Each structure stands twice: as C-alpha cells, then as structure tokens.
Structure 1
Amino acid sequence: MPVKYGQCFVFAGIVTTVCRAIGIPCRTVTNFSSAHDTDGSVTVDVHWDNRGNSELTSLNTDSIWNFHVWNDVWMRRKDLPAGNDGWQVLDSTPQETSDGEFRCGPSPLTAILNGKCDVNYDTAFIYAEVNADRVHWGKQDDGSWQTMNIDKSAVGKMLSTKKPDGLPIPDNFDDFEKFRDDITSQYKYIEGSERERMSVLSATQSAPRGLSRIYTKDNDIKIQILTPKSVKIGEDFEVVIEMSNSSGVSKTLSGRLICEVTKYTGTVVRQCKQEALDIEIEAYQQQSVTMHVSVDEYVDAVSEGAMFRCAMLSKVKESGQQFAALESFRLRLPDLTVQIRDRFLRTGVPVEVMISFDNPFKTRSLTNCVILAECPGMSHMKVFSTRNVMADEKLQTSIQITPDTRGTCPLFMTFNCDQIHDIKGTCTLYVQ
C-alpha cells in the first residue's frame, strides 16, 4: 500500500537507510527544543500586547518544537569554498519553502557552528533551529514594538544520534545514555560562551533578515523559570521563577504568571492557571516566587505529549521596563506494559497480547479508550476499543493479532483516550 502519512523521525530513518544502502555515510539526528523560524530573522520572536497577551496569531508565527529530526550526510561540497566538506544537514521534512519548493539543505555543519548563514543551502533556517535566541517584543503606547528581553539558551538542546557501535537498540532499555551520542558541540559552541555569542552575532549579520540591532543593550533584571523534573501526569506540580536585580537600586515588578497546556509544536491549547505578581527586589539581590498547579487545574486540557509552558510577563514600576520569560516542559506519561506468553509464533496463527497500565488520575476515569497495534508486515494498523478505566485503577486487558510475516519484528502498542494520549509500549515478536 502507498504510504500516506509520516513524521520527521520516520522520513529521517528512511533517508539513513537509503544513503547507507548506496554507500553514503549518514546518521539520524534529533534536536530537542527545535526552533521554527518563519521569517528568516534567525530569532524566535514572541510579541506581547499591552494586556500581556502572547496569543497574537498574525505576529507570533515562530515556535519552538519539543523536538525535530533530520539527517547528517557526509559529502564533499565542491560548490562551496574549502573547509565546508564533511557532515551536511539534510532535512527530509522541510518546514518552510526554499526557492519556492519545500526542501532543506544540504548545509555544512561547520557553517552552522560558526553562524555563517550566507553559505548554501538553507543555513539560516537550520542555524535558527539549533541556536536561535528567543526575543520578547512588547507593544508600546504609540503602537511600536520594542525588545523587552532575550532568552539566550531556549533553543537547541541535547543534539543526539545513536552511537556508531554497529549494535541494535534492544526493545526495552532503561539507560538511554548508553546508546546516545551527544553531538551538540558539533552544531554549537558552549551555551553562553564568548564563541557562541560571536556565532549568534555572525548569524544575525549574515542571515537575509537578521536582527543584529537587538544586541545593543543588556538588562539588569534577569528572570529564570525552573520547571518540574520527573513529575508524572496526575500529580500536582510547582514552577519556580527566580529573579535577580543587578542594578544599584531597588525595583518593583508587577505582572502575572501564566501556566498553559500546549501541543509539542508549541501551539497553546488552553490556559490552566494565572496568578498576579507584585514583588520588590532590592539592589543586587535575588527573589523567587512559586506557582502551584493542581491536577484539577490542568486535567481537562491535557494534550498530546502532556506538554506545558510557563510564562512570566512583568513591568518595572519605577522605569516602565518590560520583561518576559517562557519555559516549556512535559509531564511523564504512565508506562504501557506489553507481554506475550508464547514468544515463538507462527504466521497466520492468532496470538494473545496482554496489556496493562495504571490510570494516573486519582479522581478521573478514562473514557473512549482505544488501543492501536502496529507491526512491520501488517497490512494496516489494528484498532481495538476497550472499556473505560476507573479512577486510580489498573487496566489489564488483552487483544488478538495474527502475524503474517516471518522473522523478528517489533510490535508497537499505543493507548489513547479522551484524557491522555500516546501512552506507548512495545515488545518483540519471533515469528516462524
């Protein structure tokens, strides 16, 4: 059957297979907190209106995705000056057009590393994916826009590929780091270092629409949002906002704290909590505030991947300066356990698959529950409806599938319901 759907990690895997099959070195690369720059500014621009609203769809077209996947392909670049051979970025899931067509790359890693955005092809877009600054713009009383502050470490984290050890990744493993090769340093210098900042400045100067003028001032108020780590969906969580005042005078900040549910692309689904902010920070001192978010405040809005973002918008009463900060995070989904009693199977013979997981919500039932089963060799994905799962209950159920291809192959299972999505599990089939 023709393939009708795919995502970046699917297409990147295909490119890796094809390139290696014809003798071209290739690796699959995952970029976490991957920027999508829509206007060629090499920045992720966030616009806030006079009421502190950032949902200005006509202006806020840039975004930061939870992750994006592409390829590095090793090749010579005879079309470029010396020094640009080696790894080249090739994106088989282009997000913007290039010369009127959806395509992206090849772009030399050495050009990306050093912010040389005028090097072919599409280097400005790829540079923004891994090292764009997030720039907050505030609307002034006269209708103009001015920079509020700049987040310099929001984009491009844990650039990863599989270690080139020739070994397959097992079905179930606990330590991802055993298999991950961190290649962040091949794409960008150490975050915040002098060389990294020089690279950013070079990028804004060489990109077609770079905004080098925004780096002419610095702010004496610094804001850092500390998001929860390893918190499971179904639990309350806290977000801590740390603020520091590096000036010699006391400053009073007023504004608001916002917690929103988002999609993995950064698109806001719904606001789940908002709190007013009014705090005085003494000269050369630090202050922090904590926002507590309960399960009941977010459970009805949870979207794919259990993604959230926390925002702070504030204004200094004494000077009128405006500041903003954003940070995205996700909650852990429950594990889906998949088991098969008879591991050695036969083609055409039905097999029973046991599935179990715990409802993470103590006071909410899971409704309209379905289980999806996929396996190489299956003509199409199997969909199984199952019963509702009561609050704080452990679901234990079984489905039947019929293998139709011999060999060793993975079975992928996904549980979806109205309340949470994409709870995944896997096991390996040995079909005779």
Structure 2
Amino acid sequence: MEPLTVDVVHFYPRENAQTHNTVKYEVVNDENPTTTIVRRGQPFNGVVRFTRPFNEENDMVQLLFTLGDNPRMDTQGSIFIRRDVVTDKHSWSAKLLVVQEDTVSFEVSTPVSVPVGSWAVRVVTRLKSSTAREIYDFDQDLYILFNPWNPDDQTYMEDCSLLQEYLLNDVGKVWVGPIKTTRGKPWFYGQFDAVVLPACMFMLDRAGMPFHQRGDPVKVTRVISRIVNSNDDDGVLVGRWDGQYADGTAPSDWIGSVDILAQYLETQEPVPYGQCWVFAGVVTTVCRALGIPSRVVSNLVSAHDANSSLTVDKYYTENMEEMDFDPNNPVGADSIWNYHVWNDVWMARPDLPAAIDATPQETSAGMYQCGPAPLEAIKQGVVGVAHDVEFMLASVNADLMRWRRDPTAEAGYSVVDTNNFHIGRMILTKKPYVFDPLGDEDREDITAQYKHREGTASERLALMNGVRYSERAKRYYAVVSNLTNDIVFNLRDIDNVYIGEEFRIIVDIQNNSNEARHIKASLSATSVFYNGVKSDIVKKVEGKIVVGPNKNEQISISVKAEEYLPKLVEYCNMKISAMAIVDETKQSWADDDDFQVLKPNIHVKFNEDLIIGQPATAELSFANPLNQPLTQCEFRLTSSGIAGRTLKAPTGDAEPKGLITAQIPVVPNKTGQINLIAIFISAELKDINGAATVEVFEG
C-alpha cells in the first residue's frame, strides 16, 4: 500500500470566520473564498480529502504549519491528526473529528502566544509501517491574528463589548484643529479591505521584524510606530508640513487608510504625504487588522519637547522680540502644535492601555519610533518605564516657560513667566458605539486618563516626579522664581471667525500700582501650520501706551479678510501674539493664542431609499465662502458599504459665494447602516469635508 495522496485541503474560510470574529474581512466573503483568517489560541476546523479511503490503523497524517522562510521552534507547528488529543493553550494540536471514507475532518488548536502572520501549511502522509512519505503544499493563504476575545491572549480586552469599537469599527473620527474650534474629521479605517492584511505583512517584512517576535503586541506596536513613517526603513508615509505637496497627495486630501496602504503595497515605495492624523489613521487600521485594539487620540495644544527638559521654552530679546531659535539647544527649538494625534493600543499588562506615535518627531533607540508608553506611567510621571514615557509626559503636561535675555542673570536669561495650564488642554478620542456625521456628539474627553486635573497637587507631583529623573529638567526648574508684577495683561480669546470675516486682537491692561506706567507693546497676527511653524505675518502693530495709576486700558488691532486670505496656509490656522514691557519696572509679558478660520461642511443626501445592489445617487453640496472662484474642483466619496470604495466626481469651477454640487452614482453592497465620508478639493480651498450615515435595505 502507498501513502495517502492529498486531493483537496479546505479550512472553511466562511464558517471559521463566524466563530473567530473575522467575518468582516472582505476576502472571506468572496463567492469562493480562498483565504482563511482565524485568531490564535482558538480552535478552527479543516478537512482533507485523499485519493483513496483513509485507514485509521495504518495511515498517518501530519500537518506542518510554518511562518517565514526559516522556521524555528516558535514559528512552526508540527502535529499529527489524532483522536486522543488533549488540547493545551500553549501547544499545537490537531484533533480527528470525523472520517468518511476518503475524507477526514479535524480541528486545529494553536498556542495562544503564536506569532501572527500568513502561515504556510504542508500535509505529510505516510504509513505506520514505512518511512516513505507524500508531501502536499496548501496553496492558499491562512492568516492567524491576535485574539483580544481570549483571556489568555496578551491583547485581551476585558470589556469585550468595546471591541465593537476598537477592533471591528472601520469608520472613525479624528479630532483636529485648535482648542476652541476643534472638530471631528471622519476617517475610513477600512481594516477589512482585501488589500490591508497583505500590506501589513509587507510592512512587518520591510521593517525587518523577526518572525518569532510577531506574537508580542508590545514589540509589534513599537515596530508599527516605526514603519508607518518612512524615516528609517522606507515605511508607509512620507511626512511633510510645509504646504508643498504637488508631487504627491496633500495630507488633507486623504479620507482613509486603504488608498494609502494599497499604493504602498503596489509601488513598494513610501507614499507622499502624511501628517500626524494620517499616520495615526493608518496605525489604527494596521493594529485593528492584526487584532490589536486601537483608537486615535488627539492632544490639543501639544508640546514637542526637543531637549528633554519637560518644559517648552520660548525666548525673547531684551526688548521682548520673540526669537525663532533656542539659544540653549543647537539641535532644534521646542514647539507647540495646535494639536497632535497619536494612538492608544491595548495589551494585557498591568499598565494598559499604552500610547504609540508614528509621527517622526524624535528618535528613540536611534529610530523614529515612539511607545508603547503606558498611560498610567505618563499620568504619574514615572519616566523610567519603557518606552518613551518622558517624551509623552512632556507632550501632555510640560510647563510653558518664557525667557528674556538678561545680562544680569547667571544663565543670561531670566524667566518672564511660566504657564502650568497651557499644554495638553484637552485629550479627545471617538466615543464608542456613536458616529455623528454632522456634529460632535461622538466626542469623548479622555484627559483624565493621561494626566491629573491641571493645578491639583497630584498633577504637579506627577510632573515633578518626571523632573526628578532628568538633570536638564532640574536645572530649568531651579531658576523659576516667584515673579511679582503690578501690571496685569490679558489677551482676549477670539471666538469663531468664518472665512471671509474680519477679526480683532484685544489686550486688556490693568495697572494695580499707584503710579503711571509707560508700556511698549506689540500685537501681531500670523498664519501658521498646525505644528506651530509660522508661515507669514499678516499684520503687526507696535506702539506705546501710558496707563494711569489703578487704571484699565485696552489696545487692539483689527484684521480684515483681504489682509489674511492671501496668506492663509493649509487648515487656515492663525496665531495672535502680544508682547509688552514696562519702562519703569522692566516687567515683561507675552502671550499668544491660536484659532482656526472656519470653513463650511459638505452636505451629503439621498432622495431615495437605498436598496442593496441597486444604483442610487448621492447629492453632495457646499457653499463657496470666498469672493473668488474655486478651480480644479473635485468631490470624493468613500465607504466600505459601496461598490468601488472611493468614488471621484470632478466638477466645474465654483462661482464666488456660489453653491457647488455634484451627483455621484453609488451601488450599496451591504445592508444595515453604512457611513459615507466626503471631501472637496480645489486649488484655493483644502480640508472641506462631510459625512452621512444611511440605512441600506434588502431588495
């Protein structure tokens, strides 16, 4: 008798997907699916058919699972299909279920710590009485992913209902914009798209991640934070923040991760261009695709501490002119971003969740990677814990310090003031289970997970705890003295400014002394990129004012639309700055504030019920807010619930102050609620978007 010859091996892609929470992956829903996606530490079923009947007494069937080209102990599983199997969460096994002549059904169990990836399967058959073997190589994809539903998996999420949001939801929101006008920008994660898992495998390979480490979510998320930016290993996205994107895609033109990952996989070249929320959107797609719960987190007024002082330092000349460099740090100046976006990921350690950041800001262990930094360590200021807690602590809780050149001071500079409340004003994410296409009902404030309430003893203790570990930070905090000043300045907040309207910068001055004070003051408005880099001065006024004893005065300037419109840069962020110095006492003061010039949203509507498989028309519209035409106009609409995923509709030029509309034919391919995300692109206006949630019915 000859060894068995394999005719067919089948791993029931659809049926296994039901029990493994992988049913949303597009490839398992193909008409004849050839890709199986299962989760580790949980049994899955298979069947093998031979060219002759299976004889349990004489035939031996071995399954060999391997990951990578050079499998070793922890990247392979070699198991015989047997009836007498005792399953064990740390071992591979294959249990014989049913024999029907030439067909054998079996159940495979995998170790709960097995590396994730695309596993190869080989079937080896022989007779018990002989060493002659037959070998059959399975030619389809079998993905084994992390399993956050399994209490023994390192990615386990105790509140499994949250996995509906942090693992299975393929649409989300990213909060962008300055503190007063921040808004949720819809983002299509699309982690179940057919292109995503192959792209994830390519990313881990390109990062050179050893296969045997791919079962450890701490190591995997750290590698993801590195490979989503292109700085070290030709990773996914090229970061750019200067507004010059003609040779690629402007960051504001992306509405989801799938097109980025598809382009990366196809070209195998870094994709131009990304900014922090684009990096974070791609990170969440990759994490959720691999089975790691993840969310996007926005820190409003975020510090980039370039010299590990746990302070953000601004320097001024003796006359209170702001200096655009840091005289104490030749590498680069600290900066304050209007907002910065990173990710939280979950893994079963005492300190979950943890933060990772794929935006390339500072190197960690010689590479542009950041995290995972446990939120609890950031909150308590425990900077000795891996990874990058100190950098994240500064991002959310550094003190803002202003320094003025002072020849009489030992360090050459004296402190103008310190602001303990400015950095990390609010930390936001999307609320689970809610999607508000038109407003912010789905916004969740998670500041308390990152820091104690500002001004409390606990918050000061956490920051000083971090300072204690840093020699440089100790030196900075040592020079801060209690400053007593008899003039009180207040830069007023600017409320909503819609594009095309004028605004006014106002400073209130209160003299609490019994003598008149002569004050030299300067007010300015500057267009800025969201990472704090200045673009153009829109208007600047300097002057002198006398404030009588115990009197109040006000200085102000107005800025008209025609003054700022030509100088606006992407996202329409403006910085207003005010500086003053008192002649008699040499008291100095400076303050600034950021706001965003607001733009209209796109309205998305359907005039008919949506039926699966039947064409319908999406109507998109918005009003041009400018007194000039818009050119090179295009609407884009994306959703995992429509055929074609991303649809484009170029339109003619938009009249000044006119309504611009487009009709896009769509064919729904899923029933139930689907979310649609729209953007509008033109040469003159960027970052116009909208969203809608609609119901699709059975035919």
Indicate whether the TM-score tops 0.5.
Answer: yes
From 184, 188, 198, the counterpart of 2:447: 184
Q: Distance in 1 between matches of 2:654 and 2:451?
A: 46
Q: Distance in 1 between matches of 2:551 and 2:516?
A: 9
Name the counterpart of 1:117.
383
Q: How does 1:27-426 map onto structure 2 within 5 Å?
A: 27-49=295-317, 53-54=321-322, 56=324, 61-75=333-347, 85-140=351-406, 144-164=412-432, 167-172=433-438, 174=439, 176=440, 178-207=441-470, 209-210=472-473, 211-220=476-485, 221-245=487-511, 250-281=516-547, 286-344=552-610, 352-361=617-626, 364-376=627-639, 384-395=649-660, 397-401=661-665, 403=667, 406=670, 409-426=674-691
Q: Distance in 1 between matches of 2:593 and 2:479?
A: 21
What whole-Å deviation, never above 9, does each CA across 1:24-67 have from its counterpart, x for those lacking one?
65443221112222221222222234665536257673222222
SS at match of 2:371: coil
Distance 1:42 1:331, change over 3 A: same
C-alpha displacement of 1:234: 1.3
C-alpha displacement of 1:284: 6.2
C-alpha displacement of 1:328: 0.8
Q: Distance in 2 between matches of 1:246 and 1:195?
A: 33
Distance 1:109 1:283, change over 3 A: farther
What whole-Å deviation, never above 9, does each CA across 1:137-184 have from its counterpart, x for those lacking one?
3335699443322233221122123334xx241433x3x2x4333221
Q: Distance in 2 between matches of 1:350 and 1:418?
A: 31
Distance 1:171 1:255, change over 3 A: closer
Q: Which piece of structure 1 moves more, 384-393 or 36-45?
A: 384-393
Q: Distance in 2 between matches of 1:351 and 1:63?
A: 48
SS at match of 2:631: coil
C-alpha displacement of 1:291: 2.8
C-alpha displacement of 1:239: 2.7
User: Do the aligned partners of 1:350 and 1:400 also contact (CA within 8 Å) in 2?
Assistant: no
Q: Distance in 2 between matches of 1:44 and 1:343?
A: 54
User: Do the aligned partners of 1:40 and 1:208 also contact (CA within 8 Å) in 2?
Assistant: no
Distance 1:357 1:405, change over 3 A: same
Q: Distance in 1 between matches of 2:323 and 2:649?
A: 38
User: Do the aligned partners of 1:260 and 1:273 also contact (CA within 8 Å) in 2?
Assistant: yes
Distance 1:247 1:120, change over 3 A: farther
What whole-Å deviation, never above 9, does each CA across 1:263-299 have from its counterpart, x for those lacking one?
1112112111112242344566654433322212211
Q: Distance in 1 between matches of 2:456 and 2:547?
A: 28
What whole-Å deviation, never above 9, does each CA across 1:298-323 have from its counterpart, x for those lacking one?
11112222211111121111133332
SS at match of 1:312: strand
C-alpha displacement of 1:91: 2.2
SS at match of 1:366: coil
What whole-Å deviation, never above 9, does each CA across 1:199-225 have from its counterpart, x for those lacking one?
333333323531212422324244332
In structure 2, stretches of 5+ residues that fail to align are 1-261, 265-270
Q: Distance in 1 between matches of 2:524 and 2:436?
A: 41
Q: Distance in 2 between matches of 1:359 and 1:274?
A: 29
Q: Distance in 2 between matches of 1:366 and 1:55?
A: 39
Q: Distance in 2 between matches of 1:113 and 1:285?
A: 43
User: Do the aligned partners of 1:261 and 1:307 also contact (CA within 8 Å) in 2?
Assistant: yes
C-alpha displacement of 1:427: 3.0
User: Do the aligned partners of 1:263 and 1:304 also contact (CA within 8 Å) in 2?
Assistant: yes
SS at match of 1:155: coil
Q: Which piece of structure 1 moves more, 289-298 or 16-25?
A: 16-25
Q: Distance in 2 between matches of 1:55 and 1:300?
A: 25
Q: Distance in 2 between matches of 1:388 and 1:202?
A: 58
SS at match of 1:298: helix
Q: Distance in 2 between matches of 1:388 and 1:17?
A: 35
SS at match of 1:201: helix
Distance 1:98 1:388, change over 3 A: same
Q: Distance in 1 between matches of 2:287 and 2:684?
A: 41
User: Do the aligned partners of 2:292 and 2:345 also contact (CA within 8 Å) in 1?
Assistant: yes
User: Do the aligned partners of 1:375 and 1:409 also contact (CA within 8 Å) in 2?
Assistant: no
Distance 1:243 1:306, change over 3 A: same
User: Do the aligned partners of 1:205 and 1:212 also contact (CA within 8 Å) in 2?
Assistant: no
User: Do the aligned partners of 1:373 and 1:411 also contact (CA within 8 Å) in 2?
Assistant: no
User: Do the aligned partners of 1:149 and 1:219 also contact (CA within 8 Å) in 2?
Assistant: no
Distance 1:180 1:346, change over 3 A: closer
SS at match of 1:334: coil
Distance 1:53 1:318, change over 3 A: closer
- Aligned-residue CA RMSD (Å): 3.4
Q: Distance in 1 between matches of 2:263 and 2:697?
A: 25
Q: AA paired with 2:507?
A: I
TM-score by length of 1: 0.82
Q: Distance in 1 between matches of 2:483 and 2:393?
A: 23
Q: Flag the structure with larger Rg.
A: 2
Q: Distance in 1 between matches of 2:577 and 2:341?
A: 27
User: Do the aligned partners of 1:227 and 1:238 also contact (CA within 8 Å) in 2?
Assistant: no
Q: AA paired with 2:529?
A: K
Name the counterpart of 2:186.
none
SS at match of 2:422: coil
SS at match of 2:394: helix
Distance 1:40 1:271, change over 3 A: same
TM-score by length of 2: 0.53
What is the aligned length?
Answer: 417
Name the counterpart of 1:81.
none
